[in-house]
Structure 1
Amino acid sequence: MRGPFPHRLIEERPPQIGLIVLQTDESIEMDFRRLVPLETELFVTRVPSGTVVSPESLAEMEHHIAGAAALFPRSARFSAVAYGCTSGTAQIGAGEIAHLIRGATETRDVTEPLSALVAACRSLGIRRLGLLSPYVAPVSERLREVLGSHGIETPVFGSFEVAEEERVARIDGPSLRVAAEAVVRDADVDGLFLSCTNLRTLDEIEGLEARLGMPVLASNQVLAWRLMSLAGVTPVAGAPGVLFDTPAQAEAREAEA
């Protein structure tokens, strides 16, 4: 054996953010790799989740969130940690999710798609939101109730009525575009929300905004935006949607319009 060799430790580390992903989710992690700059340390853990989405399967995750958060590296000092489930947050409650995560890992802030959506709507001045969901009515109704309690109305709503997560992850772009446009056609809304972290929405946002003439928000988009905002991280250039516009980009959009 040769050594021990002298060595030094890295003294300063870039911002660290954490993401708790559902076991059945096939989309959110890839989306975050596209939105979060490479120099930011993104740590991911997974939480057990049902293959079929129902109020009961969503509520069951409450018993596993702390265990999933405890699997982050013990040396991590997170600026912020996100739980990646929109409907799960509506079912369990944002406050309880924050409590469970803070009790299991060290982090300055906690967020999830529902609080992120509310923050995004307030940032863009959205009060009336069209909602497109993949899920069955009882799951979506709970989400609409919680949004209403935050002063965000959802007067128009549409769904693919899919319960199996494996199918949700494979709904294609054309299907999303047709359904999204149908939901808000002739509707009195300020924006559109594509709900579910397992939907592959990232490539559809800007095209829909151009055709619909309104902000289009999606679960992974708003969650990444909010998580990076809390952590003081600048998103990658070209992140999709008016939500990510810098002042200069917003002025350019207005000039083009």
Structure 2
Amino acid sequence: MPTHIKTLIVVPENNSTMEPEISALCPALAPLAVARVKRPPRTLLLEDLPAYAGATLDAVAPFTSERWDLLIYGCTAAGFLGGPGSNAVMVESLRERTGAPVVSTAGAVVDVLREGKVAETAVVTPYLQPVNDGLRAYLEASGIRVETLNSFFCKTTAELGSVTEEEVLDLARRTVTKQSKSLFLACSQLPTLNAIAQLRRELDIPVWSSIQATAWASARAMISNGFEVRTT
């Protein structure tokens, strides 16, 4: 059974969290090649998506001469803003250009919540309201109701990059209610590697982050393609 998995991860140029956390969660994917997508220094808006889609394909172009076992499209906000249809178009475009199976973070979040039979969730994000609205619409279009949502409302990528794991834990604890059936920590920049296990113990409900969902979906995709993959 093949064990070496050649993986390309596509993330916004400011993202400093997803590569190390995916590598920790799925060691079989490491070391990851990284394609960084140029983006505005502020939170993405709906009107940014055409340019961002073009920048995504430009970022991947230098890697298309190589053969990849897996491509991870880790641009969470872009996936939520554009909706399931737009995310599917980007996934297909990346698949066509690289010939690799593609896992998207936005798609992985829905898949892992559905797998756990989650129909309603509390949500923590770093986003401004337009992306929060897009996230809510994306989940609800997929049959998952947002029970309650709190955000750091980061205005810039610098603000986003300064959020700590302890701050994520604090906002998560203040977001869940006695009625919460699940908790989702959105954004592949938020540090959540150690927070997930702690929150699962404290809350005794399913807790997932964008990165944890992506690692889960990546492992499942690779196992279905004959690879041996263990996750931590």
Shared fold (TM-score, shorter chain, > 0.5): yes
Residue in 2 that maps onto 1:94: 87
Residue in 1 that maps onto 2:191: 200
Q: Does structure 1 residue 34 correspond to structure 2 residue 24?
A: yes
Code of the aligned partner of 1:189: S
Residue in 2 that maps onto 1:25: 15
Q: CA RMSD in A?
A: 1.9
Structure 1 stretches of 4+ with a deviation exceeding 4 A read 38-41
Deviation at 1:59, TM superposition (A): 4.8
Residue in 2 that maps onto 1:184: 176
Which SS does the other structure have where 2:52 is aligned? helix
Q: Does structure 1 residue 43 correspond to structure 2 residue 33?
A: yes
Deviation at 1:73, TM superposition (A): 5.6
Within 5 A, what are the aligned runs for 1:18-167?
18-38=8-28, 42-55=32-45, 56-72=47-63, 74-76=65-67, 78-92=68-82, 93-107=86-100, 109-167=101-159
Deviation at 1:54, TM superposition (A): 2.9
2-structure distance, mates of 1:211, 1:204: 10
Code of the aligned partner of 1:86: T
2-structure distance, mates of 1:73, 1:14: 19
Which SS does the other structure have where 1:53 is aligned? coil
Deviation at 1:66, TM superposition (A): 1.6
Which SS does the other structure have where 1:52 is aligned? coil
User: For the pair shown, which has the larger CA radius of gyration, 1 or 2?
Assistant: 1
Instruction: Report how many aligned residue pairs link the two structures.
Output: 223
Contact 2:122-2:176 at 8 Å conserved across structures: yes
1-structure distance, mates of 2:30, 2:174: 38
2:210 to 205, 219, 229: 219
Residues 115-134 of structure 1, C-alpha deviations (whole Å, 9 max, x = no match): 10111011111110111011
Unaligned runs of 5+ in 1: 1-11, 240-257
Residue in 2 that maps onto 1:253: none
Deviation at 1:189, TM superposition (A): 2.8
Residues 9-59 of structure 1, C-alpha deviations (whole Å, 9 max, x = no match): xxx882322210210111111112212225766322111122111313455
- The answer to which structure has the higher helix fraction is 2
Deviation at 1:196, TM superposition (A): 0.5
Code of the aligned partner of 2:211: N
2-structure distance, mates of 1:138, 1:73: 33
Contact 1:158-1:179 at 8 Å conserved across structures: yes
Which SS does the other structure have where 2:72 is aligned? strand
Higher relative contact order (CA 8 A, sep 6+): 2
1:172 to 129, 153, 164: 164
